[in-house]
A and B are shown apart, each in its own frame.
Chain A
């Protein structure tokens, strides 16, 4: 029946039998909550993670060793090692550190700071704008213990359906145990938080203070935002493309300039940010920052 078999096969009809060729090219989200969501599956992400670790771990490893020599440190070590390997957990935490700080001086950012997370009722750090889901769970009495943290780290949306945490979850029990062991060090005894450097991320782009000081016009931001909401959901829901609402203005502005300068690799975002002026980025930061 296939008379087509008799037609010449040296031309176009044959062209699709080729083998893969060419070279890999960058295209992940860059360092953002979205990246972190993707990092676990991405070779490129791993490269990014190693790069971050090169300065991140140097700052953190030393203080841990010191603390472990102290009495409280020894206790902490026993407890955390019962959960997992905190040193590996520190590496895993690099997935999280785009949004979360932990350690001395840690502050709220895109996500809340995580000192004292163990034993804390969900959604209760004053001054942080939580998703409705986390506030609801906190009101229902959910406390961050091993069981709940483990479930949340495995699949955030399965535990808190409308969380804004743009993270697909850690697949392996080992990774989750290790990162919990790491976080536990900052929770065992909150007044004795190890004197580690806070995990604040070095700014990806050096921005002149006047750019960070720009006060955006939220009304203009609302118009510009209509271009973003084709992909980023306005209610902060995360289904594979990161939530961008309620971010601190500086985080938003830095992220957008990092795309604009093509430091972050994601091609769609490079294109989108590439044609925004400083004022327009500030306007978007003002609009999205005020959303709940």
Chain B
């Protein structure tokens, strides 16, 4: 029996887009329809690759990304913990270029949605029919009193992959014997919900090996966090006595820092620290504000095609978007990118558009070979992207299962990075 595709899409939310005639065949520019993707991470690189692959040469795809080498934020904690080499986190754009994507290593600095043009730092103006914004996150200014990006070398955020990650690790390694590391954890919503706590786990693993009497303090404005029971159990098992978590009940939300003095003030009490990781409150990448598609800190989208609520020709992917229930993660961005690429292709070329399906899984490493995961599936509803099903690792799992979970996460890393960047 052949699947009846027409009957199938007839029931789908995106049927209208699928059945309408292609209307955007680059009326304004002539030639092939043009898509510009801003940001070459899990959302942007995936979108560019799928538009190129599935557009079969009918779409002109440009990716604007300042870095020539992309260092993933996901798995960067494993480098900090000493279980992965930094080089394994780096990926170039050769595979995308080879696939036909026009990779422009420059910064997008202006967007004119009326004339549909993107201005890059070099001054060039690039026209588009569809624009994809996938810039990841930026930090809310003044979120942690005393800290700004000007102080990020003294107190790194290490929440964008690359040199910040290396810097934080170097500072941890330089801590005096028995010294103190502090993390200022961010308020919701933020990139990678279990990320700060995986990081603490990996910092503890590193310090257990090189500086076992060191202490770790987490000041946290949240009274609960992702995979809390799993981290709680793991910290007790692997790093007993090393980690103090200070929640809002004990003033964890009332924090300021002094990067010059290397002090952290929690609820009025000043503590000298030897290394400090400030992860401030987050907002959509700045280019979303420039484009005028944000409301508050984030860019609202309609989940069916990740379409900006401010402009039907702008799609926002990943961390920058406000879409509903999906966590801000590389997996989510990758999942959303495929839905957006399909919707864009449908509009530009009249190709079939199937109903959006989304999924996410976040693996975290608590200690070497002690991996846990949480995941869910999602569907687009008129209100938001809504969770439909989910699972989480359990406390008390045996070591073999935890090891298998970790090994699975390594497989996932190889999978998603080749899904993002193709093969170069």
A274 to B375, CA, bound (A): 14
Asked if A241 and B245 sit within 8 Å, CB to CB, the answer is no
| A279 interface contact, C-beta 8 A | yes
How far does the Cβ of B12 sit from chain A's closest Cβ, in whole Å? 12
Asked if A21 and B391 sit within 8 Å, CB to CB, the answer is no
Asked if B269 and A7 sit within 8 Å, CB to CB, the answer is yes
Asked if B408 and A241 sit within 8 Å, CB to CB, the answer is yes
Asked if A27 and B396 sit within 8 Å, CB to CB, the answer is no
Asked if B373 and A18 sit within 8 Å, CB to CB, the answer is no
For residue B232, which residue of chain A has the nearest CB? A16
| A267 interface contact, C-beta 8 A | yes
Set of chain B residues within 8 Å of A20, measured between Cβ atoms: 233, 236-237, 395-396
| B261 interface contact, C-beta 8 A | no
Set of chain A residues within 8 Å of B418, measured between Cβ atoms: 233-235, 237
Residue of B342, B354, B361 near A268 (CB, 8 A) is: B361
How far does the Cβ of A201 sit from chain B's closest Cβ, in whole Å? 21
Residues facing B in A172-222 (CB within 8 A) are 210, 213-217, 219-220, 222
Set of chain B residues within 8 Å of A17, measured between Cβ atoms: 236, 240-241
Asked if A220 and B375 sit within 8 Å, CB to CB, the answer is no
| B388 interface contact, C-beta 8 A | yes
- The proximity string for B residues 358-401 relative to A, scoring 1 for CB distances below 8 Å and 0 otherwise, is 01010000000000010111000000000011110111111011
Asked if A3 and B415 sit within 8 Å, CB to CB, the answer is no
For residue B272, which residue of chain A has the nearest CB? A1
Asked if A267 and B375 sit within 8 Å, CB to CB, the answer is yes
Given known contacts A223-B342, A239-B415, A240-B408, A27 and B244 CB-to-CB distance under 8 angstroms? no
Most buried by A among B217, B338, B408: B408
Set of chain B residues within 8 Å of A215, measured between Cβ atoms: 1-2
A: number of interface residues (CB 8 Å): 65
Asked if A44 and B232 sit within 8 Å, CB to CB, the answer is no
Residue of A16, A25, A213, A271 near B375 (CB, 8 A) is: A271
For residue B241, which residue of chain A has the nearest CB? A17
Asked if B396 and A24 sit within 8 Å, CB to CB, the answer is yes
A220 to B54, CA, bound (A): 12
Set of chain B residues within 8 Å of A140, measured between Cβ atoms: none
Asked if A241 and B412 sit within 8 Å, CB to CB, the answer is yes
| A4 interface contact, C-beta 8 A | yes
Set of chain B residues within 8 Å of A274, measured between Cβ atoms: 377, 389
Asked if B404 and A213 sit within 8 Å, CB to CB, the answer is no
Asked if B416 and A13 sit within 8 Å, CB to CB, the answer is no
| A70 interface contact, C-beta 8 A | no
| A22 interface contact, C-beta 8 A | yes
Asked if A42 and B404 sit within 8 Å, CB to CB, the answer is yes
For residue B264, which residue of chain A has the nearest CB? A4
How far does the Cβ of A169 sit from chain B's closest Cβ, in whole Å? 13
For residue B230, which residue of chain A has the nearest CB? A22
Residue of A13, A213, A217, A229 near B246 (CB, 8 A) is: A13
Asked if A23 and B241 sit within 8 Å, CB to CB, the answer is no
| A110 interface contact, C-beta 8 A | no
| B322 interface contact, C-beta 8 A | no
Set of chain A residues within 8 Å of B404, measured between Cβ atoms: 27-29, 38, 41-42
Residue of A7, A29, A223, A237 near B250 (CB, 8 A) is: A7
| A257 interface contact, C-beta 8 A | no
| A2 interface contact, C-beta 8 A | yes
How far does the Cβ of B421 sit from chain A's closest Cβ, in whole Å? 12
A38 to B371, CA, bound (A): 14
Given known contacts A4-B217, A239-B415, A27 and B233 CB-to-CB distance under 8 angstroms? no
A89 to B419, CA, bound (A): 38
| B5 interface contact, C-beta 8 A | yes
A124 to B408, CA, bound (A): 31
A33 to B259, CA, bound (A): 52
| A147 interface contact, C-beta 8 A | no
Asked if B375 and A27 sit within 8 Å, CB to CB, the answer is no
Asked if A279 and B342 sit within 8 Å, CB to CB, the answer is no
Residue of A29, A213, A223, A271 near B354 (CB, 8 A) is: A223
| A230 interface contact, C-beta 8 A | yes
How far does the Cβ of B359 sit from chain A's closest Cβ, in whole Å? 6
A12 to B217, CA, bound (A): 12
How far does the Cβ of A127 sit from chain B's closest Cβ, in whole Å? 26
Q: List 17 A-B residue pairs with CB atoms under 8 Å apart, sorted by A's residue number.
A: A1-B180, A8-B250, A12-B246, A12-B249, A16-B231, A16-B235, A20-B236, A22-B395, A25-B401, A41-B404, A216-B3, A227-B335, A231-B361, A237-B414, A240-B408, A267-B375, A283-B3
9 pairs of A and B residues whose beta carbons are closest in the complex: A240-B411, A22-B396, A241-B411, A22-B395, A239-B414, A267-B391, A12-B247, A25-B394, A217-B3
- Which B residues contact A (CB, under 8 angstroms)? 1-3, 5, 8, 50, 54, 180, 215, 217, 223, 231-233, 235-237, 240-241, 243-247, 249-250, 266, 269-272, 331, 334-335, 338, 342, 352, 354, 357, 359, 361, 373, 375-377, 388-391, 393-398, 400-401, 403-405, 407-416, 418-419, 423
